[in-house]
A and B are shown apart, each in its own frame.
Chain A
């Protein structure tokens, strides 16, 4: 199974202007989506039929005390897909240890019918998915967030005083663009959305 791990957080939109980074408020309610840094892949060959406890699937650093919404996606994949993703993890994440797996070709299940020796990247994978979601309000945590500015620690800059001359018209909000990392679609299950 592959776990994807998007904690949705209320965030702000970014705008990219004349080689400088600015952050603005979003023009509509908008959520940042973050994913696990790590490829989480697990085979139950050693634990088939048993329940597994305390398996770490990811972590949500306290970048802000805004509430977040966590979705755990579990994909059930077959052995050859597992081997593929395991190799992917080995070459990109497990490579820094003393006993690092040696770099190896990522051989998927795509090939050129006219030339079987040709190396074709990528893999066509079919998986069943199951989901669970948790809403977490962190205002009561007490701990100090890494940065109170919810834009992931990036200082919010006031464009009016930052750079002259300013492009017209003056910008105070940026659009919430639908990407893999941002959405204005209210996550299903977001608690008490209007309050915030």
Chain B
């Protein structure tokens, strides 16, 4: 049964009237008529946005708006239209335009002929025309086909195949964008920030796969509605459950199993999507690597989204997201000073988003969002003899209110304006001794801060060839008490302190953040773009280990730790070749201030005051990204090559505040050369083969400048940081998807996916370290055991996984 949503219908009618008002007379002899094309999904009648409409005779076209409409005015005549959208069967129409015409197009989802491309510009020409730079928009149907880690569809792993995006190794607690650190990316899942985006110590990401509708990633002129993190915004959207019947979707795999239900609760009023995934994979890890023998690793994530349509003008949605991990891993250094037999780790994120969109006039909307995010990592120390567990826990409670008014004034001008208030309540740590008596309870003071912002953005096309995007964001940050502000002498000893009571203002910072993008069209299929953005960052993740987990410390700015800030400049050339290839060259330069790094020997664990453990240093990153995509066809794919640098420089005047003699040095996210290539062969209806190849410069690491001996112990001496580089990283992955349904309209559809990760078994080191070659048991006898350099690699063998995925509707 087909139906359409009333609110969409309503908007559509208004749009029509608006368009008529704006039609202009042309002083030629031929008559001009308006052609309106309304595209909707044949399955549920919902309008399809971003559908490409090409008109052969004028060699031009455009994309449908969010109501599924594309409107063009043309001279009287015969026209051939090609209407295409990734994942849907192409529609071709011919017509004779001799009056204003409205054409309703129903597009059918192409069940077997999905284009296996990850990155696909929404409009064949959008990549050329939009003033937005450094942006990737990925739909789920594209993401789902990346041959990824453990046969799991994975947002973050998919992202690392894009130009400018890197992970920090095979296990990484996030991504590095254009040389930035992991915490410089704002990861939003239906607008709620996610502080720990990975399961299992970084093997894959936490986002429930089947409920994601798409991912937008911004890394250049980040729109002014986003702020707070310097390097990028990853905006992950959960599907709106528009449906009139029950749908089931899921999969059974080696690592995890998934199930998603989409169903109406009250027809046309209240709809729901609920998806979950669980992995109980203890058995798997010894196969993956011998080092993971004693690993326990279990996780769950689930997402529930309710959509309520109370009236024609209102749409209210509520998203719940929960993820939890429990694991035990030999390869994690235990925390000092707590005597325990084994340590295990428990992480959970609990997010809610309530969003209300109201259309107040034909082209104007108000969107209001309430967000609550809770992240609480725990370390559990099992005491050796006593039957007791000591618990270390820290917590972030984040809340946000955001209200935004947007209006499309006319075809050439649209804008939005909004306000946003964030509250951070960070508990840096508490230690619960349980019923044991070897540890004192500790509870560090909560750190409460507010970030108030106002923002606005105008998109304006002053002429046919120029598009501008002008944005401005103003942020105000307050740290409130309770807080103790210490005074230190030159040796770092406390000589006095000032106490602030609850709610008392301790420190504030503010900043104006302009965002600018411009596109100049050089021809129909090529353009040049420039961009600029300034962003301040008031919250950071501090750690002094190779990865933030499990004990990193989230910290907002305070009187000692200044906000980080960033200026990004970009210049790019975009060209489409024969509507088949998309070619782009983007260059960027980022200069950053107040990047945080640790001091020698810093220990953040249960430390109330961090100011003596960190220093703030300057950074700069620059690079050129070359990208070539072939979005469609039986053989499709893309490749990109990036040349980039990411550098840091300290300005200290004592040894403990100086890194590499205050000279510029490579940051740990410096990757001078990166190549990614993906190719998909869609040979027939049933088989799809994909290959993905990645090669990049190794991570900088630190080589000892010398070794000295204390008694019988060799101790490496490190005077510099990041003075060497791990070997080149390279990996080939393969996936083969077999869909076996012969009938395109089977209600139950299934496919088998075989994934081979690291096809030729490259042993890429994650880290290289020094330690004594063996214990001194034998070494003492004829001299001391020498210091050896070792590679730590986690994924060092071929990993094969298979999963069965199904869809029932």
Contact A63 B777 (CB under 8 A): yes
Contact A16 B782 (CB under 8 A): yes
Contact A154 B601 (CB under 8 A): no
The answer to whether B299 has its CB under 8 Å from any CB of chain A is: no
Complex CA distance for A48 and B433, rounded to whole angstroms: 13
Contact B777 A47 (CB under 8 A): no
Contact A99 B547 (CB under 8 A): yes
Q: Which residues of the other chain, B, contact A116 by a CB distance below 8 angstroms?
A: 654-655
The answer to whether B745 has its CB under 8 Å from any CB of chain A is: no
Of the candidates B336, B339, B702, B782, which one forms a contact with A102 in the assembled complex, judged by CB atoms under 8 Å apart? B702
Q: Which residues of the other chain, B, contact A88 by a CB distance below 8 angstroms?
A: 710, 715
Interface readout for B335-352 with A: 1 if CB under 8 Å, 0 if not? 011110100000000000
The answer to whether A152 has its CB under 8 Å from any CB of chain B is: yes
Contact B781 A99 (CB under 8 A): no
Contact A14 B716 (CB under 8 A): no
Complex CA distance for A131 and B701, rounded to whole angstroms: 41
The answer to whether A96 has its CB under 8 Å from any CB of chain B is: yes
Given A42-B336, A46-B431, is A98 in contact with B440 using a C-beta cutoff of 8 Å?
no
The answer to whether B588 has its CB under 8 Å from any CB of chain A is: no
Instruction: Choose, from A50-58, A64-72, A170-178, the stretch at the interface.
Output: A50-58
Given A16-B782, A37-B776, is A99 in contact with B550 using a C-beta cutoff of 8 Å?
yes
Distance between A25 CB and nearest chain B CB, rounded to angstroms: 16
The answer to whether A84 has its CB under 8 Å from any CB of chain B is: yes
Q: Secondary structure at chain A's binding surface: helix, strand, loop or mixed?
A: loop
Of residues 27 through 42 on chain A, the ones whose CB sits less than 8 Å from some CB of chain B are: 32, 34-35, 37, 39, 41-42
Of the candidates A92, A94, A151, which one forms a contact with B715 in the assembled complex, judged by CB atoms under 8 Å apart? A92
Contact A107 B600 (CB under 8 A): yes
Contact B711 A180 (CB under 8 A): yes
Contact B600 A106 (CB under 8 A): yes
Instruction: Choose, from B206-214, B326-334, B495-503, B680-688, the stretch at the interface.
Output: B326-334
The answer to whether B718 has its CB under 8 Å from any CB of chain A is: yes
Of residues 94 through 128 on chain B, the ones whose CB sits less than 8 Å from some CB of chain A are: none
Complex CA distance for A168 and B385, rounded to whole angstroms: 58
Identify the closest chain B residue to A38 (Cβ): B775
Of the candidates B337, B601, B716, which one forms a contact with A84 in the assembled complex, judged by CB atoms under 8 Å apart? B601
Distance between B502 CB and nearest chain A CB, rounded to angstroms: 26
Complex CA distance for A16 and B656, rounded to whole angstroms: 45
The answer to whether B59 has its CB under 8 Å from any CB of chain A is: no
Q: Which residues of the other chain, A, contact B476 by a CB distance below 8 angstroms?
A: none
Contact B772 A92 (CB under 8 A): yes
Given A91-B715, A95-B771, is A86 in contact with B777 using a C-beta cutoff of 8 Å?
no
Q: Which residues of the other chain, B, contact A84 by a CB distance below 8 angstroms?
A: 601
Contact A98 B721 (CB under 8 A): no
The answer to whether A76 has its CB under 8 Å from any CB of chain B is: no
Distance between B698 CB and nearest chain A CB, rounded to angstroms: 16
The answer to whether B673 has its CB under 8 Å from any CB of chain A is: no
Contact B780 A95 (CB under 8 A): no
Contact B442 A46 (CB under 8 A): yes
Given A83-B601, A86-B603, A100-B769, is A47 in contact with B439 using a C-beta cutoff of 8 Å?
yes
The answer to whether B255 has its CB under 8 Å from any CB of chain A is: no
Given A34-B777, A47-B337, is A91 in contact with B716 using a C-beta cutoff of 8 Å?
yes
The answer to whether B714 has its CB under 8 Å from any CB of chain A is: yes
Contact A101 B718 (CB under 8 A): no
Contact B386 A53 (CB under 8 A): yes
Distance between A52 CB and nearest chain B CB, rounded to angstroms: 5
Contact A86 B336 (CB under 8 A): yes
Contact B339 A55 (CB under 8 A): yes
Distance between B764 CB and nearest chain A CB, rounded to angstroms: 14
Of residues 732 through 773 on chain B, the ones whose CB sits less than 8 Å from some CB of chain A are: 766-767, 769-772
Complex CA distance for A180 and B600, rounded to whole angstroms: 31
The answer to whether A157 has its CB under 8 Å from any CB of chain B is: no
The answer to whether B201 has its CB under 8 Å from any CB of chain A is: yes
Complex CA distance for A43 and B329, rounded to whole angstroms: 24
Given A54-B339, A54-B385, A96-B769, is A37 in contact with B792 using a C-beta cutoff of 8 Å?
no
Q: Which residues of the other chain, B, contact A51 by a CB distance below 8 angstroms?
A: 437-438
Identify the closest chain B residue to A120 (Cβ): B655
Contact A54 B384 (CB under 8 A): yes
The answer to whether B270 has its CB under 8 Å from any CB of chain A is: no
Q: Which residues of the other chain, A, contact B716 by a CB distance below 8 angstroms?
A: 91-92, 103
Q: Which residues of the other chain, B, contact A103 by a CB distance below 8 angstroms?
A: 701-702, 704, 716, 718, 721
**Chain A: interface residue total (CB-CB under 8 A):** 60
Q: Which residues of the other chain, A, contact B704 by a CB distance below 8 angstroms?
A: 103
Of the candidates B333, B655, B658, which one forms a contact with A99 in the assembled complex, judged by CB atoms under 8 Å apart? B333
Q: Which residues of the other chain, B, contact A195 by a CB distance below 8 angstroms?
A: none
Q: Which residues of the other chain, B, contact A44 by a CB distance below 8 angstroms?
A: 337
Contact A119 B549 (CB under 8 A): no
Distance between A168 CB and nearest chain B CB, rounded to angstroms: 24
Q: Which residues of the other chain, A, contact B550 by a CB distance below 8 angstroms?
A: 99
Contact A117 B655 (CB under 8 A): yes
Of the candidates A16, A46, A98, A117, which one forms a contact with B439 in the assembled complex, judged by CB atoms under 8 Å apart? A46
Q: Which residues of the other chain, B, contact A153 by a CB distance below 8 angstroms?
A: 778
Of the candidates B658, B701, B717, which one forms a contact with A117 in the assembled complex, judged by CB atoms under 8 Å apart? B658
Contact A14 B719 (CB under 8 A): no
Identify the closest chain B residue to A117 (Cβ): B655
The answer to whether B383 has its CB under 8 Å from any CB of chain A is: yes
Complex CA distance for A53 and B598, rounded to whole angstroms: 33
Distance between A4 CB and nearest chain B CB, rounded to angstroms: 9
Of the candidates B606, B719, B766, B778, which one forms a contact with A105 in the assembled complex, judged by CB atoms under 8 Å apart? B719
The answer to whether A87 has its CB under 8 Å from any CB of chain B is: yes
Complex CA distance for A37 and B771, rounded to whole angstroms: 12
Most interface-central of B601, B656, B702 (chain A CB within 10 A) = B601
Q: Which residues of the other chain, A, contact B600 by a CB distance below 8 angstroms?
A: 87, 104-107
Contact A43 B656 (CB under 8 A): no
Q: Which residues of the other chain, B, contact A50 by a CB distance below 8 angstroms?
A: 437-440
The answer to whether B545 has its CB under 8 Å from any CB of chain A is: yes
Of residues 214 through 234 on chain B, the ones whose CB sits less than 8 Å from some CB of chain A are: none
Interface readout for B169-209 with A: 1 if CB under 8 Å, 0 if not? 00100000000000000000000000000000100000000
Complex CA distance for A16 and B658, rounded to whole angstroms: 47
Complex CA distance for A109 and B49, rounded to whole angstroms: 66
The answer to whether B712 has its CB under 8 Å from any CB of chain A is: yes
Q: Which residues of the other chain, A, contact B658 by a CB distance below 8 angstroms?
A: 117
Distance between B20 CB and nearest chain A CB, rounded to angstroms: 63
The answer to whether A121 has its CB under 8 Å from any CB of chain B is: yes
The answer to whether A21 has its CB under 8 Å from any CB of chain B is: yes
Distance between B724 CB and nearest chain A CB, rounded to angstroms: 11
Of residues 440 through 477 on chain B, the ones whose CB sits less than 8 Å from some CB of chain A are: 440, 442
Contact B771 A96 (CB under 8 A): yes
Q: Which residues of the other chain, B, contact A117 by a CB distance below 8 angstroms?
A: 655, 658, 661
Given A53-B386, A88-B715, is A119 in contact with B655 using a C-beta cutoff of 8 Å?
yes
Contact B333 A46 (CB under 8 A): no
Identify the closest chain A residue to B442 (Cβ): A46
Q: Which residues of the other chain, A, contact B438 by a CB distance below 8 angstroms?
A: 47, 50-53
Given A86-B336, A104-B718, is A152 in contact with B778 using a C-beta cutoff of 8 Å?
yes
**Can you report 13 A-B residue pairs in the complex whose CB atoms are below 8 A from each other?**
A32-B780, A37-B775, A46-B431, A53-B384, A54-B385, A97-B332, A99-B550, A102-B544, A106-B717, A107-B601, A116-B654, A151-B781, A181-B781
Give B contacts to A, CB under 8 Å.
Answer: 171, 201, 329, 331-333, 336-339, 341, 383-386, 431, 437-440, 442, 544-547, 549-551, 598, 600-603, 606, 654-656, 658, 661, 701-702, 704, 708, 710-719, 721, 766-767, 769-772, 775-778, 780-782, 787, 790, 792, 794
Q: Given contact pairs A92-B714, A104-B601, enumerate 13 new A-B contacts (beta carbons under 8 Å).
A: A35-B711, A42-B336, A45-B337, A52-B438, A53-B386, A54-B386, A61-B777, A95-B770, A102-B544, A119-B719, A152-B778, A153-B778, A154-B778
Closest 5 CB pairs of A and B: A95-B769, A54-B384, A87-B601, A103-B702, A103-B718
